[in-house]
Amino acid sequence: MDMDLILERLGVEEGVIRRFRQEKITPDIISLMSLYDFNCLGVNDKTTIMKLRVECVCYRSNPWAHNNDSTRCRNIRFEISSNMIETLFGAGYSVKDTSIALGVSESTLFRKMGQFGLSKLAFTEIDEEELNIVVATTITEFPRCGEEMLRKGLLQKGIKVP
């Protein structure tokens, strides 16, 4: 499927579609892109990024390509970044849902989480409204705090966020 059609189906703006076309972004490349890469292309919404990644999994080229001797399948290496895992967990995905969205087994996901030092249990279960109240209070107390200081302040209050 054409990348333009995928982007249109997800409701991405025409200017962003044009940038994807100029950079020759394909569904195979999407899984390798970081949040920074998406931001540079004009896609800033994490939900849209995850929808795009999930959609593009269906249209990637055949990962079961053969080696030169054409008698064995090669080992497939899935490119999964810590940002991808953290984004899905932050969006409320379970480990099972995250593994499905990334197209890997749960054991592969757990192995990747171990490599990145991530734990699903490490993030605090808090609804968005409560988190907004705590963040607003913290920002009122420390109006010049940056993202990292805010994260540390939340951690001191017992709230761990991705």
Q: Give the tens place of pLDDT for each residue, 109-149.
A: 888 888 988 876 666 677 888 888 989 998 998 888 888 88
Whether 64 has a pLDDT exceeding 50, the answer reads no
Please check the confidence at residue 162 and state whether its pLDDT lies above 60. yes
d(CA 90, CA 108): 19
Instruction: Please state, in angstroms and rounded to a whole number, the distance separating the CA atoms of residues 132 and 142.
Output: 15
Q: What is the pLDDT of residue 69?
A: 44
Sequence spans of domains, the chain: 1-61, 78-120, 124-162
pLDDT score, position 89: 81
pLDDT of residue 86: 84
What is the topology classification, in CATH, of domain 1-61?
DNA polymerase; domain 1 (1.10.150)
Q: Write the single-letter amino acid at 117.
A: G
